[in-house]
Copies of this chain bind each other. A is one copy, B any other.
Amino acid sequence: MRLLARLLAPKVTVHAHCDLPCGVYDPAQARIEAESVKAICEKYQANDDPAFRTRAIDIKEQRSELVKHHLWVLWTDYFKPPHFEKYPQLNTLFNEATKLAGGGGGTKSSADPAVADRLLGKIEEISKIFWETKQA
């Protein structure tokens, strides 16, 4: 039963961050915004009313920025030198993930749900590493 709880754990506890630091972090914050970005992309593709699309682009921009912010916070504030040693791919992973939420082909300039999916995939990879480090 404890094992089960352990296995489920990564999906259960959600945590926030502040730079006191309060010691509370969770990749869910980035994922939540990325899911919103994906939903916006889907609604955008299904609706060609110019006014709707203007709002969708505007809001997608803001939500993508929040994705970037939450990821940057994890990268700088949560992860420490030993983590980067153990997971040498971490820097590239975060750099690619934040680029995917940006303007050069990321979810800011693209309204393709597939781009949002790639972003969600990167966040999932980060999330997996994050929860491994919490268990260690």
Binding site for B on A (CB under 8 A): 4-6, 8-24, 26, 28-29, 31-33, 35-36, 39-40, 43, 50-59, 61-63, 65, 68, 72, 75-77, 79, 84, 91-92, 95, 98-99, 102-104, 108-109, 111, 124, 127-128, 131, 135
Contact = CB atoms under 8 A, between A and B. Distances in A.
Contact of A32 (B26, B95, B109, B111): B26
A95 B108 contact: no
- Chain A contact residues: over half helix, strand or loop, or mixed? helix
A24 B36 contact: yes
Contact of A28 (B23, B28, B52, B98): B28
A59 B20 contact: yes
A54 B59 contact: no
B54 A76 contact: no
Contacts of A99: 76-77
A19 B103 contact: yes
Contacts of A62: 18
A13 to B, nearest CB: 8
A57 B59 contact: no
B109 A55 contact: yes
A36 B16 contact: yes
